[in-house]
Amino acid sequence: MIVTVTMNAALDRTVTVPNFQPGQRHRASAGLTLAGGKGVNIARALKRMDVPVVATGLAGGRTGARVVSELTREGILNDFVRIGEESRTSTAVVDPTGGTYTEINEWGPHVTPEELELLLEKVRYLSRGADAVVFAGTLPRGVEEGFYAEAIRELERRGIRAILDAEGQPLRLGTEAEPFLVTPNEREAEGLVGQEFHDPQDFVQALDHISDLGARNVLITLSSGCYALLRAEREVERFHAAVPEVATVSPAGSGDVLLAGYMAARLDDLAPEEALQRAVAAGAAAVQEVGAGRFEPRELTRLAEGVKIEKLEPVPSEL
């Protein structure tokens, strides 16, 4: 079983608007409302891959109640802590004509220390029977930036794999807590290592840098695939996985689905190359669907056949 933790859950509203132009009046051709937040997206994708998963996190007010009811409607097991302030709503506009995706995210609620302690107790309880716990997304107001790091250290002491998908200082501190896996996207990885990436060598150096900070495994997710540093016993291997170009409908949550695909493959004891192949194909399948965490399993299978895996050598350090 996998437990996903969404600290800043949201109600995601996506509307499809052909020829969208700011400042103009439009009529949407379609609309979709889903429970959201990165951990929720990962849980949705894991369920579609038939991986047992429980989604937990913080949910407040009418919006939080709607988040929980939407998860239940989808058949996703969930056990959220109810908080006093209202959970956030996120709005996205997909323009299939112009190929654009515009996202507007609210800040979200302020969380009290008492509510945070209730969540930690919930995570301790749910993690007893878990293979891994995924912490994903931004932290709400009132939560210290070291929250993920402290939670990861506690889980790792208990022998439970912790996975982190975050950004900024919470990502840095969480990485230093030595999680099993971190999965920043390109922008987040650049912020973590302090430089922009221009060529494959920059990505390989970033993998090693992030590993040196504490992460045992690293996936840097891209729109076209990922770079990976993976450990098998004492062996460290580096890879680049690329998928053929696909028509993008909505990029939202593709990295979340990629992570879910990798976790599902690892639970099936697939070799690193096969796990990356499945993960990257899942992420590519997700961009063809409106709604984060959604994809067509048959499309995943088709795309996996075209994923190219390249094994990379470490970049020699400069003397």
pLDDT by residue (tens digit) across 36-85? 999 999 999 999 999 999 999 999 999 999 999 999 999 999 999 999 99
pLDDT, tens digit, 9 for 90 and up, residues 195-219: 999 999 999 999 999 999 999 999 9
Q: 178 in the Ramachandran plot: left (φ > 0), alpha (ψ -120 to 50) or beta?
A: left
Q: Are 70 and 41 in contact (CB under 8 A)?
A: no
Q: What percent of the chain has pLDDT over 70?
A: 99
Determine how many CB atoms are found less than 10 A away from the CB of residue 98.
Answer: 12
Say how far apart CA 237 and CA 116 lie, in whole Å. 37
- Looking at residue 146, its pLDDT comes to 97
Fold of the domain spanning 2-222: UDP-N-acetylmuramoyl-L-alanine:D-glutamate ligase (3.40.1190)
| Cβ–Cβ under 8 Å, residues 149 and 100 | no
The pLDDT assigned to 316 comes to 79
Lookup: tokens for 295: 């994809």
